[in-house]
Structures are given as C-alpha cells and as structure tokens.
Amino acid sequence: MIDLHLHTNVSDGCDEPGALVRACRAAGLSVISVTDHDTTAGWDEAAAAAAVAGIEFIPGVEITAVLDDRDVHVLGYFPSRRAPLLEDFLEDQRADRIRRVREMVGRLAALGMPLDLASVLQDAASHPRRTLGRPQIADAMIARGYVAHRNDAFDAYLGHGRPAFVARRGATPEEVIDLITASGGLASLAHPGLLDLDEIIPALIVAGLPAIEVFHPEHDPETVWRYRRLTAASRLIVTGGSDFHGATSGHHDCTLGRIVLPREDFEAFRDRLFAC
C-alpha cells in the first residue's frame, strides 16, 4: 500500500519521523512520502527508518502558497534528498511563519488572551528547521484554558477572517509550482476538494502543474470521481494519501492504510518523478 501524504512532529504532526515510519510499516504500507509543512527536516530520519523497515521512501514537502489571502497547499515530491533551490525558499517560508505567529500572539493579547510568546517560539527553536504555525498557537491557547480544542481556536480566533488572523506573505501557487519543478521535483495540488477553488485549476495546469491529489480523507467518493475525471481529461498524474498527523491529532480520519494511492497511479507517478 502507498501513502504519499504524511506529517511528523517537525511540522504539526505528533510522531517523530522514525516512529511514523515504524507505524506505517506496522500498518502494511510499502511506499511512503513524508510531506511536512514547509520543511524537509524530517527527511533524513524518515529515510533511515524506512531503509531499516524495508519500505520505499519518497522525499516530499507540503508548501503553503497564498492566493488572495487564502492558503493553497502544494505538495512537492523529489527523486532524491538533494533539492538545492528548495531549502532557501523554505527558509523564507518559515521566517514568515514566525513573523505571523508574533503578530497573532499580539492580537490575542489585545483580545485579553495573553500567551507566552517565548514558549510558543521555543517549539520552533528546538529544531533548526521545524515549522511553526497556528496549531502551536492553538495548543498554547488550550494550555491556558482559553479554548478546549484546536478547532475551537481556529473557528473563533485564528481562522481566516477571525479576530486574531494575520495574513501570510507567501509565494503564489504558480511560483511554488515553478520552484518545485526547478528543484527537480513534481508538484501536486493538495486536497483540492478542501479548497473549493476548482476554477483556479485550469490556470495552474497551464502554469505547469503536473499532478493533483485525488485521494484524501476529506474527499468523498463523488469528489474522488470528479478529480479522477479531471486528471484523466488533462493527462495529469494522480497522487494521494492519508494526510496523517498522528493517531491522537484529531485531523481527518487517523487510520494509516485507509486512504492509499492505487498501485497503477503510483507507477505513473514514479515514472514521471524519476524522468524529471
């Protein structure tokens, strides 16, 4: 079984990369990609653990692009762990995340919910390439008793248009696709069914988008069918995975092995990735 969308604790997942790989092995997966948000920090540990576990590891990343103040997630897959242009770009992405966390913590303080900024930022400092974001702010809000769950924090304060929301300054989806391609990788539009922006897809295809994530826990059978038709009509590569963030993360359906990429789609993906 194949899963090309997994998170570890170098971004907002719960498990260390090695532990995640062992859980994948136990769930019967044979090919995985670790796709943390805006960082490759989990690659080396995951690759080493995958070699021990005897499963194939594909280096991946999930980059947050911005379009009209909205986040558009673009997955990038690479034929090897050397993707030179990528690292500088991701460093800028993470720097903007820290700026944003500072501003959002400031807004929460103005709303009567002070947080210890240093301890929120310390999480990022604990690993040089760890990504920081709203989930960590939400966790700090839970710890202070301001909200009960991450979702409550997003719905009431941190989500788009909510009082503590601060817009990202990021690259456009087209720029991210270009960067991934120029780094020797293959870009895939992540979970388009969650975006509700199908109208942007034709322009992204024209801009060189080679793949779409068709299989995702938030895609119901009708949505899978819709993107399946689109990828067939536009001759795009199909990707998919669980978007696993940890068994206790509360994200999606957290069972490894339930959402997987069919073998024939993976074969086409792999042919394209290694032809890059």
Give the binding site for Fe ion (CB under 5 A).
62, 73, 190, 243
Q: Which residue is nearest to Zn ion (CB)?
A: 12
Near Zn ion in 142-171, by CB under 5 A:
none
Q: Closest separation between CB of residue 34 and Fe ion, Å?
A: 11
Q: Which does 73 bind (CB under 5 to 8 A by kind): Zn ion, Fe ion, none?
A: Fe ion
Q: Whose Cβ is closer to Zn ion: residue 59's or residue 135's?
A: 135
Q: Which two tokens stand for residue 73?
A: 């997630």
Q: Which segments within 216-264 are labelled E, that is strand?
A: 237-240
- Distances in Å between the Cα of 73 and the Cα atoms of 70, 143, 237, 243, 261 are 10, 28, 17, 12, 19
Q: Whose Cβ is closer to Zn ion: residue 189's or residue 236's?
A: 189
Contacting residues for 41 by C-beta, under 8 A, at least 6 apart: 10, 127, 128, 129, 130, 131
Q: Closest separation between CB of residue 7 and Fe ion, Å?
A: 6
Binding status of residue 265 toward Zn ion by CB under 5 A: no
Q: Which does 243 bind (CB under 5 to 8 A by kind): Fe ion, Zn ion, none?
A: Fe ion
CA–CA separation, 248 and 114 (whole Å): 27
Q: Closest separation between CB of residue 233 and Fe ion, Å?
A: 24
Helix (H) or strand (E) holding 219: none
Q: List the x/- string, 11-50, binding to Zn ion by CB under 5 A.
A: -x--------------------------------------
SS3 122: helix
Q: Closest separation between CB of residue 103 and Fe ion, Å?
A: 22
Helix (H) or strand (E) holding 76: strand 70-77
